[in-house]
């Protein structure tokens, strides 16, 4: 996303695997996303995978990205097993 366009916050995922899931969903739709880990950063406790991660998209893609997330949220199944 180095094309000079403004980026906009899309969502906070609860952890890195979910952030990467949404990143891939958006990429499949042609929308690049930037994933930024929360917490103390890499090396703080050895891994940031369990911390929340923020996803950002180009401002021009924000509305479509929100639609995709809203459509796909119903398809995500989280198991306690």
Residues 51-62: tens digit of each pLDDT: 889 999 999 999
69 falls within a domain:
no
The predicted structure's pLDDT at residue 51: 83
Is 26 part of a structural domain of the chain? yes
Tell me what pLDDT residue 72 has. 78
Whether 38 is in a domain gets the answer yes
Whether 78 maps to a domain, the answer reads: no
pLDDT in tens, 15-51: 989 999 999 999 999 999 999 988 765 566 556 667 8
Does position 79 have pLDDT exceeding 50, yes or no? Answer: no
Cα separation, 45 vs 23, in Å, equals 24
Range of the domain at 11: 7-61
> Would 45 be classed as within a structural domain?
yes
Of the two residues 78 and 52, the one the predictor is more confident about is 52
- The verdict on residue 72 lying in a domain is no
How far apart are alpha carbons 57 and 78 in whole angstroms?
25
pTM of the predicted structure, to 2 decimals: 0.76
The number of distinct structural domains making up the chain is 1
């Amino acid at each position: 996303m180095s094309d000079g366009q403004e980026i906009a916050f899309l969502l906070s995922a609860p952890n890195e695997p979910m952030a990467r899931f949404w990143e891939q969903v958006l990429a499949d739709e042609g929308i690049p996303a930037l994933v930024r880990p929360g917490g103390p950063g890499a090396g703080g406790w050895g891994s940031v995978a369990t911390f929340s991660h923020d996803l950002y998209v180009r401002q021009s893609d924000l509305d479509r990205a929100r639609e995709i997330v809203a459509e796909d949220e119903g398809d995500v199944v989280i198991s306690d097993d």
